[in-house]
Chain A
Amino acid sequence: MSASVQEPTRDELLAMAYVDGELDPTARAEFEAQLAAREDLRREVVSLRRLGLLARSMAAPEPIDHEWKKLARDPLQQTATVAAFMAMAIGATGLAGWGAYEIWASQQPVPVKALLGALCGGALLLLLVTLRGRLRTLPFDPYTEIER
C-alpha cells in the first residue's frame, strides 16, 4: 500500500502560519493584502480555521447523540419534518397572497393600496437582500459546524 503525500504550497504554509498567529506584523500585513484580493486564499484560511475550531471543540459523543442521529436518519421523522415545513410555507405564502389580493380588490383608495404595496414589496426586497448576503458570506463562516 502506498500513500501519496503532497507537499503544501507556499500559500498554504503562509495560510497555516496566519491562522496560527505565527506571522510577524509585516508578513501578516502582506498576507492580509493578498487575502483581500484572492478568494481562493480566503477559502483556504476559512477551511484551516474550521479545522482548528473542530479540533478545539471536539468532545466525546454522549449517549443521547446516538439517539438524535438515529432520529435524523429515520424516514418517518425526515418525511414528517419536511412535510410540516412545506405545509407551513405553503400556508404562509398562500395567506400572504390572499391578503394581498384582498387589499388589491378592496374599496381602499389607490394611495393606500400603493403604500401597502410599497411596504410589502420593501419587506420582501429586504428579505431577499438579507438572504443574498447570508448566502454570499456562508462559505466564509467557519462557526457553522460547531455543535456544542
Chain B
Amino acid sequence: MILCTTDEVPGRRIRETIGLVRGNTVRSRHLGRDISASFKRLVGGEIEEYTKLLAESREQSIDRMVAEARARGADAIVGMRFATSEISAGSAEFVAYGTAVILDR
C-alpha cells in the first residue's frame, strides 16, 4: 500500500478512484502517566508520555485507514492528511484520511 500526501503517485497513473478512506482513534495514557506529565508541565521540556500517546494514536489511525483501503481493493492512498482534536483532557484523537485509488500496473 502506497501512502502519499501528494494528489498523485509520482511515476504511476491512477486507474480508478475508490473514494475517501479514513481511520480514527482516541487514546489516553493511564493515570500514573498523566500525573507524571502534569509535573513535567511545571518544569518544561518534552513530555514524552504525550509524545508517545500521539505516536500511538497516529499509527493506529494510519492502520485503520489502510485496513479500510485494503478492504475496498485499493493499492494506494493519495492526498493523505491527519487531523487531531481534543476530546477530553489527556487523551488524543487522531484522524488519518485520504483518497483510496487503484494504480495502473
Q: Tell me the A residues contacting B by CB distance below 8 Å.
A: 21, 49, 53, 56-57, 64, 68, 85, 88, 143-144, 146-148
Contacts and interface: CB of A to CB of B under 8 A. Distances in A.
Contacts of B43: none
Interface of B is mostly: helix
Given A85-B32, A88-B35, A146 B56 contact: yes
Contacts of A88: 35
Interface of B: 1, 27, 32, 35, 46, 48, 51-52, 55-56, 59-60, 63, 66, 70
Contact of B52 (A21, A49, A85, A147): A147
Nearest to B1: A21
Interface of A is mostly: helix
Contacts of B55: 57, 146-148
Contacts of A147: 48, 51-52, 55
Given A21-B1, A21-B66, A88-B35, A68 B48 contact: yes
Contacts of A148: 48, 51-52, 55
